[in-house]
Amino acid sequence: MRLEFYGVRGTFPGQGRSGTKIGVNTPCARITTRTGETIIVDAGTGLRPLGEDLTARRRGKTALRVSLLLTHFHLDHIFGLPFYGPLYMSDTAIDVYSWREPEDTREILGRLSEAPLFPVPIETTPSKMAFSRIGEEGAVIGGARVTFCPLMHPQGCVAYKIEEGGRSIVFATDTEHPAEGLDGRLAAFARGASVFIYDAMYLPEEYLSGRQGWGHSTWEQGVRLAQAAGVSRLVLSHFNPDHDDHTIRKMRRAAARRFERTDAAAEGMKIKL
């Protein structure tokens, strides 16, 4: 599997700072399986540049088909969908998966483009869209095994685990740790993961200054979970749009002092498993 990040900010795109190496887009990542299938995790504003890449690389070859996993339906995780270029091409398809019923997913995404909010309703676009629910037993998507775990986040959210060839990637980008102890369910779900991507929205002191109950976590809790779950690599993500590169680098260094194999996600960052 290959993993590439296209958006790593949370809540709102970064504040347009020039020269940022972290990037400004909201959550979107691409996984390419051994057979060349594309699995996309979340449809934040990073979906737009991802669509441009997919279109450029295709160069008129066979029809484009991707699978999209949605962790939840807050705007920062779905707002890129109306701006996904392949959506407007008749020889492309997108298979949308979530933990909700297919008709619920279809209805929620449809609201993004209802008049007067957007000029083109998603259901009228030329591409072929299909909606499916991932059940408790998981699903095989693009040759990879996909399962989910509920997270502590307002209005519901899930972590996804994508497994192939004895390697696994766990996305847990919108979650809040318990007031005491660890989220044992998430620790068990991430056990032995090759890559564990975790919500580092707040610095520990920011979280304690009145952000409890907002559904997000800290690098410190990510380290604790990574240690408890015995993961190989921790990747901090879902960064506060107000945090600049310097703040995020400091965060990564602090985390790496406790868990050596810690990275900070950034647009364009690639990981091969």
The answer to whether 157 and 182 are in contact (CB under 8 A) is no
Instruction: Categorize the per-residue pLDDT at 17 as very low, low, confident or very high, splitting at 50, 70 and 90.
Output: low
Domains of the chain: 2-272 (3.60.15.10)
pLDDT at res. 35: 92
Annotate 53-93 with DSSP letters as a single string. Answer: HHHHHHTT-SPEEEEEE-S---GGGTTTGGG-GGGG-TTEE
Give tens-digit pLDDT for 37-70. Answer: 999 999 999 999 999 999 987 766 678 999 999 9
Give tens-digit pLDDT for 193-225. Answer: 999 999 999 999 999 999 999 999 999 999 999
User: Is the per-residue pLDDT at 161 higher than 90?
Assistant: yes
Say how far apart CA 165 and CA 144 lie, in whole Å: 8
Q: What's the CA angle centered on 96, arms 92 and 100, to 5 degrees?
A: 165
Q: Which of 154, 170, 173, 174 is nearest to 162 (CA)?
A: 170
pLDDT at res. 58: 73
Identity at 270, one-letter amino acid code: K
Say how far apart CA 254 and CA 268 lie, in whole Å: 23
User: Is the per-residue pLDDT at 18 higher than 60?
Assistant: no
In the numeric block, the tokens 């790496």 are attached to: 256
The answer to whether 201 and 217 are in contact (CB under 8 A) is yes
SS3 string, 17-48, reads CCCCCCCCCCCEEEEECCCCCEEEECCCCCHH
Give tens-digit pLDDT for 71-101. Answer: 999 999 999 999 999 999 999 999 999 999 9
Residue 99 CB partners (closer than 8 Å, separation 6+): 133, 134, 148, 150, 156, 158
**Stated pTM of the model:** 0.96
Residue 143 CB partners (closer than 8 Å, separation 6+): 33, 34, 35, 37, 164
Tokens found for residue 245: 């590169």
The answer to whether 177 and 152 are in contact (CB under 8 A) is yes
- Interhelix angle 219-229/245-256, nearest 10 degrees: 30
